[in-house]
Structure 1
Amino acid sequence: MDEAPTLPTESAHTVGLRRAVTLGATALAVLMVLSAGVWWAVDGQPGLWGALLGAAIGGVFVLLTAVVVIATAKTSPQVTGAVLLGTWLLKLIVAIGVVAALKPLDFYSKRAFALTIVVAMVVVLVSETVAVLRNRAPYVEP
């Protein structure tokens, strides 16, 4: 009888990072709904748009870092570091470009946009940190 080939198992660190991305995305979705509701009540439709744009930009900026780490988990530390640095620089350039493109527009609340970006980044970072800290992984892989 032929045995089915076994798939390589994920390391405990990669599993922890996947949980961190899942928890971070969930926290971002909750924040997006709450922030949109609050800013809709405060500034109307411009507040809604500012909150949605701010949550999307701030949350995706942070979540992509963990996704890149998962994608490069099986590479050398030098490759992982280079890819992280490159994607961080690319994300920064894109974020600056998006903010510059949105600056002259007036369909969104700039106050809601700015505050939601900051809150989204903090919420996603905290949720990812909690998920990684709760992960039970050995320091050294056998």
Structure 2
Amino acid sequence: MADSNDLVPLGTDPNEPLKAGLRYGLIGLGVLLAVGLVLWGSVSGTKGLWGVLIGAGVGGGFILTTVVLIWFSARRPVSQGFAIVMIGWFAKLLIVMAVMVVISRMSFYDKNALVFSLIGAIVLVLGGEVLGVMRTQVPYVDDVGDGERSN
């Protein structure tokens, strides 16, 4: 559990956890890109750089798009929000499969760098999102005015 000093201040925006999750997820993706580009660029040259960029783009984009879809659908009726998230998830799955099929026949990237950055993006972005959501304080209920209280 996070120490109370590590928590983001209490806010009134119900989307604040999503914003924090997106922010921390992007930070995790940035760290992965920096480390991956240096590591795989020195090991495999340009092929390693392309592998890291593709893997981080596909993995990070897949996970971060979910946050954006949930944020977009948050103020909609439940059935619309559910449809937006599920259709978006299915579309993301088709896009990832299409990208992987297309690039599987190509040789301009390092496959090990792609796998490393794809798995790393999923772990770091999800971890960053969880950390961002867990550290954000949002009230569960609104304050009730004095005239509205019932005994």
Shorter-chain TM-score range = 0.7 to 0.9
Using the size of structure 1 for normalisation, the TM-score is 0.88
Offset of residue 140 of structure 1 = 3.4
- Contact (CA 8 Å) 1:12, 1:136: kept in 2 or not? no
For 1:11 and 1:78, the matched residues in 2 are separated by 25
Any unmatched runs of 5+ in structure 1?
1-9
Task: Specify the alignment match of 2:3 in structure 1.
Answer: none
Task: Specify the alignment match of 1:62 in structure 2.
Answer: 63
The one-letter amino acid of 1:49's match is W
Offset of residue 40 of structure 1 = 1.0
The one-letter amino acid of 1:109's match is D
For 2:141 and 2:119, the matched residues in 1 are separated by 35
Task: Specify the alignment match of 2:72 in structure 1.
Answer: 71
Offset of residue 75 of structure 1 = 0.7
* Highest RCO, 1 vs 2 (Cα 8 Å, sep ≥ 6): 2
Task: Specify the alignment match of 1:5 in structure 2.
Answer: none
Task: Specify the alignment match of 2:114 in structure 1.
Answer: 113
> Which structure has the larger Rg over C-alpha atoms?
2
- Contact (CA 8 Å) 1:24, 1:128: kept in 2 or not? yes
**Between the two proteins, what is the percent identity of the paired residues?**
31
The one-letter amino acid of 2:73's match is T
Offset of residue 65 of structure 1 = 0.5
The one-letter amino acid of 2:107's match is D
Using the size of structure 2 for normalisation, the TM-score is 0.83
* Corresponding pairs, count: 133
